[in-house]
Amino acid sequence: MTSHEEFHRRSIDNPEGFWGEEAKRIYWHKPPQKILDYSKPPFVKWFVGGETNLCYNAVDRHLQDRPDQPALVYISTEVNETKVYTYRELYREVNRCAAVLQELGVKKGDRVIVYMPMIAEATIAMLACVRLGAIHSVVFGGFASANLAVRIDDAKPKLMITSDAGMRGGKPVPYKHLVDESIRLSKFPPEKVLICNRGLDKGMKLVEGRDVDYATLRAKHMDAEVPVAWLESNEPSYILYTSGTTGIPKGVQRDTGGYTVALAATMQHLYCCYPGEAMFATSDIGWVVGHSYIVYAPLINGVTTIMYEGLPTNPDPGIWWKIVQDYKVTSMFSSPTAVRVLKSQDPKYMKMYDLSTLRYLFLAGEPLDEPTSRWINDGLARPVLDHYWQTETGWPMLTYLPGVELKPNRFGSPGLPNFGYNIKVISEGTGEEVGPGEKGVLVVVPPLPPGNLSTVWGDDERFVKSYFTAFKEMVYSSFDWAVRDEDGYYFIMGRTDDVINVAGHRLGTREIEEAIQNHPAIAEVAVIGVADKLKGQVPVGFARLKDPSQLSTDGVTEKLEKEVIAKVQELLGAVAKPHRVHFVTALPKTRSGKLLRRSIQALAEGRDPGDLSTLDDPNSLEEVRRAVGQS
């Protein structure tokens, strides 16, 4: 039996041989002429000359062996609805949707923004886009109009697909007015907006000549057969925006062939979920986990994928375990935040259902703390495996590999390097590799493996500058601190930059700061991530007012705090809403004017603020101490 280390070493020492073998897992319309082209570092091309299609691999190729097997199971506890699509039925729906997109002028290379709740039509829309060779850009439904407008202007979409509303906690969350506002704010609006009307927003108004009803167009194409567009392996499949330190999101551009191969490989070696079985990932399609392990990887592998709209506690905290029982789920994927939510409920709900089919629960998104890990391990009596990756990578970087060799679980560690990733921990100061137990920056020695970002959409220079220039040696920086122990296990220690991790969602502090500064009373602000037992981190703001005398007026700061938080929610959505906003008369800065965010964060978390030799105004630290002492 091959060990984890041997398997990993082969992928690094002989990438052409390793990935040439893995490429046999998918269908190629035209086989690759060359496995790896790394002639223009750090840009890499995988499976050069090969032609394939994500939708064909996810849907069409299963029609021969498993046409009547459930492919997509949509469950909503919000609207009490369940829909099961077999592979044959999913094929029919994707063709209908692709025909609708064609009628609206969408063709290969066009961008389509998908701004939808967790409904089956969202998955169908994504598959229809890649069928045509169109490039989808899914935007999380919790983002506000300004976020959406920025992404519209960067992607310049031909079409936007949306819904009248999502549902959360039994209440409709209208989308259409946000879409209308985002289009008003954008310079490059889509020509048409395709609307999947769920009947949840009775007051929805359509814009004549622009807005189109999906059900009406779908009815015209019930028997449509839309041929797939065969794409060269390195042509883009989608764009997914991730928070950047500049406040402008980066469009992670994913390739086609490399992504398809990498996902197929992980289903075998990592998730141990095989054709005919069921996988349940509890994420949202707006995040990378939803793209990779709700939509694409399970379907590529002939697996039944479960798409859930609802809370983990509704109708009761046993709902996820009921789904595992009812659909005989073998592999489940969730986040530490979700587990912490369940941990606060009665443990009896974990014992109410038959979980005998479940092999593994995988967690990712933020570091898994030991108490939560022990609680879920003991409760499930199944291996609970933490692993680590990023929007940019598209699939895991650090992991346990039960499909190769299941290493003993080490609490707090997301495991060892995954196949394809040549990982090091290097000193921020010297760029040299550090020894076991020493803290450094987690980096990947290029070439990046298949399915990682190929560039930043429309900006090759930003791709290089953002990820490959932090050190003298050209390495991909994860911007995460890490420690490796004597046995090769890695531990993630938090961000090195100004991006914070809230319940597994990466948020740029600069974006939140800009939103806060939209309030007319604010002169200056610093936003940091503060440790939180439930969400891992929450954003907290420290703001200086234009008129400091307001601070002495009774009730004004409380009112201002509510207004500022509401402003952030309006501009960025609830996901970015600060936990608190504290008002101070001065912010800690260096003599050159740089905000000392790490020192502010340390004080907010009750830690030593570190080296303050460059501090300009000692009173500013006391201001922060006073502010957090009042919280």
What b-and-e string marks burial along 174-202, b requiring 16 or more CB atoms within 10 Å of the CB?
Answer: ebbebbbbbbeebeebbebbbbbbbebbe
For the segment 58-89, what is each residue's pLDDT rounded down to a tens digit? 999 999 999 999 999 999 999 999 999 999 99
pLDDT at residue 590, rounded to an integer? 63
How big is the CA angle at 507 (ends 530 and 292), to the nearest 5 degrees? 120
Question: Token pair of 523, please?
Answer: 């002169």
Helix 556-572 / helix 145-155 crossing angle, nearest 10 deg: 30
pLDDT at residue 250, rounded to an integer? 92
Numbers of helices and strands, H then E, in the chain:
19, 32
In a 3-state reduction of DSSP, which class is residue 201? Answer: coil
Given 3-state DSSP classes, what are the helix, strand and coil percentages for the chain, each rounded to the nearest 5? 35, 25, 40
The yes-or-no verdict on residue 612 having pLDDT over 70 is: no
pLDDT at residue 613, rounded to an integer? 56
For the segment 108-158, what is each residue's pLDDT rounded down to a tens digit? 999 999 999 999 999 999 999 999 999 999 998 878 898 899 999 999 999
pLDDT at residue 114, rounded to an integer? 98
Report whether the peptide linkage leading into residue 539 is cis, meaning its omega lies within 30 degrees of zero: no
For the segment 313-363, what is each residue's pLDDT rounded down to a tens digit? 999 999 999 999 999 999 999 988 888 888 878 888 988 999 999 999 999
15-24, 187-196, 307-316, 486-495: lowest mean pLDDT where? 486-495
For the segment 490-537, what is each residue's pLDDT rounded down to a tens digit? 998 877 776 777 877 777 777 788 788 888 888 888 898 888 888 888
Q: Measured between alpha carbons, how far is residue 122 from residues 9, 113, 115, 194 in Å?
A: 39, 11, 8, 12
The yes-or-no verdict on residue 618 having pLDDT over 80 is: no
For the segment 556-599, what is each residue's pLDDT rounded down to a tens digit? 788 888 999 998 888 888 888 899 999 888 888 765 556 777 78
pLDDT band at 631 (very low <50, low <70, confident <90, very high): very low
Q: Are 335 and 503 in contact (CB under 8 A)?
A: yes
Question: Token pair of 629, please?
Answer: 């002492």
| Mean pLDDT along residues 428-445 | 94
The yes-or-no verdict on residue 630 having pLDDT over 50 is: no
pLDDT at residue 545, rounded to an integer? 84
DSSP for 509-545, written as a single string: HHHHHHHHTTSTTEEEEEEEEEEETTTEEEEEEEEEE
413 or 609: which leads in pLDDT: 413
| Mean pLDDT along residues 425-439 | 94
| Mean pLDDT along residues 396-415 | 95
Question: Token pair of 610, please?
Answer: 């570190």
619 or 214: which leads in pLDDT: 214
φ, ψ of residue 384 to 5 degrees: the values are -110, 115
pLDDT at residue 628, rounded to an integer? 80
d(CA 286, CA 295): 11
Report whether the peptide linkage leading into residue 447 is cis, meaning its omega lies within 30 degrees of zero: yes
pLDDT at residue 141, rounded to an integer? 85
Mean pLDDT of the chain: 92
The yes-or-no verdict on residue 601 having pLDDT over 80 is: yes
272-281, 334-343, 386-395, 544-553: lowest mean pLDDT where? 544-553
pLDDT at residue 348, rounded to an integer? 87
Q: Label residue 431 exposed, middle or buried (CB < 10 Å: 0-12, 13-18, 19+).
A: middle
d(CA 201, CA 211): 15
pLDDT at residue 550, rounded to an integer? 79
The yes-or-no verdict on residue 28 having pLDDT over 90 is: yes
Closest CA to 276 of 321, 327, 333: 327
Domains and CATH numbers, the chain: 91-229 (3.40.50.980), 499-629 (3.30.300.30)
